[in-house]
Amino acid sequence: MHKRVVITGMGVAAPNGVGLSAFSTAIKNGLSGIRFDPQLAELAFSCQIAGKPEIDDTLAAQYLTALELRGFNSTGILYGLIAGMDAWQDAGLPILQNEEPDWDSGTIFGAGTSGIEKFREAILKIDDKQVRRLGSTAVLQTMASGISAYLGGKLGLGNQVSTNSSACTTGAESILMAYERIKSGQAKRMLAGSASDSGPYIWAGFDAMKVCTFKHNEDPQSGSRPMSASASGFVPGSGAGALLLEDLETALNRGARIYGEILGGHINSGGQRGSGSMTAPNSIAVQRCIRSAISNAGIQSADIDLINGHLTATSKDALEIQNWSEALQRSGKDFPHINSLKSMTGHCLSAAGSIECVASVLQLQEDFIFPNINCEDLHPDISKWVDPECIPQQCISKKLNIIAKASFGFGDVNACLIFKKYNHG
């Protein structure tokens, strides 16, 4: 018998809001977290704007001890600790220093890279003959599973503690993997999410690929323009998002607040065949992923009230809309409302899916649709498929029951989640 899986806690460290309350206020009001980055300008990047969570030493000290902070230099792990530990406590779960691990709780917390700043720092200090002087903290901060290891220790998790990595699909994939573990009865609760480091050593490759915008260095908050005719590439971002997933019975027994329910989802790949490549999606695979997610969730395409898309402000936005329309067999005024958080945060890479899932669940719980900022000039190829009224420019109130959230990543990989409002009783 499959367990029902609900969301009982959330945490976020996003460019436009650190903490659930600040983030919720920002997305409702269309507040951008994209700012001019002097370091990128000094390094002569084409794109000199970025989205980074604003975290000072005082805030960091709430999540890491003074000893842990000594020699600490990993933005991604810090973002993940903030989002993950906040989600745990938001779910009403205590952080205990017990001898016995919590055998029923685990984490799958993804990352694209881990501790690239720490690697750079360590390597600059030594030459090849001194490699043994990398330092005792290098391993913890640079191993791919560093984020889940830190969270596992902070929270005393005794169930599965692991890290996934699937480019921009990482966050959505981690949530689906955690969902499946609870659904099958192998865990009672799982902390799921993803994080992405910030800084030039993460973003330089994308700047070199010329997929980032260079036209808005003087006007950062106008730079990220998903679905816009004047979009000129994505704005690099960073951060972390986390959801505490729990089987329904366990959540009800402890009187937990429930944000929403996960009905199902699907993960697949286009195999870099047909129209797919390392950097471009195979449309057939994208459509199959969406349709399979709907089938797995036991709903119909007509049941979807809102799509929180991947939509990065690149030339592929119109193709994504077309894929949604063909997969759902819905177009024009019949198309669901759709929005892209990246207009306010930039593209947070491996953290994008999890941060956007937090935004999706907030909308579901509070019955609002956050605005698509910087989309006043809708791309004409998109208007062929969708009525402009389905792409709100202002925050709107709307009763929501089901939201579809998708992420697509380098390597021609796809993930789609179906969230549903939890109806008490």
pLDDT higher than 60, residue 425: no
How would residue 132 be classed by pLDDT, with cut points 50, 70 and 90?
A: low
Distance CA 15, CA 17 (A): 6
Among 124, 142, 141, smallest CA distance to 133 is for 124
Query: The tokens of 85 are what?
Result: 């530990």
Task: Please state the domain extents for the chain.
Answer: 5-253, 264-420
**Measured between alpha carbons, how far is 415 from 39 in angstroms, rounded to an integer?**
34
> Given pLDDT bands bounded at 50, 70 and 90, which one contains residue 131?
low
CATH number listed for the domain at residues 264-420: 3.40.47.10
Residue 119 has pLDDT above 90, yes or no: no
Instruction: Please determine, for residue 91, whether its predicted confidence score (pLDDT) is greater than 90.
Output: yes
Span 303-356, pLDDT tens digits = 999 999 999 999 999 999 999 999 999 999 999 999 999 999 999 999 999 999
Q: How far is CA 62 from CA 23, 28, 83, 85, 323, in A?
A: 19, 27, 12, 10, 44
Using CA atoms, how far apart are residues 58 and 66, in angstroms rounded to an integer? 11
Asked whether residue 1 carries a pLDDT value surpassing 80, the answer given is no
- Quote the pLDDT of residue 143: 80
DSSP at 235: P
Specify the CATH number for 5-253; select among 3.40.47.10, 3.20.20.70, 3.40.50.2020, 3.60.21.10: 3.40.47.10
| pTM metric for this prediction | 0.95
Same fold, 5-253 and 264-420: yes
Could you tell me the two tokens for 186?
A: 């192998």
Q: Mean pLDDT over residues 158-175, rounded?
A: 97
Predicted confidence (pLDDT) per residue in 12-52, tens digit: 999 999 999 999 999 999 999 999 999 999 999 999 999 99
Q: Which residue has the tokens 């953290």?
A: 351
Spatial distance between the Cα atoms of 211 and 279, rounded to a whole number of angstroms: 11
Q: How confident is the model at residue 98 (pLDDT cuts 50, 70, 90)?
A: confident
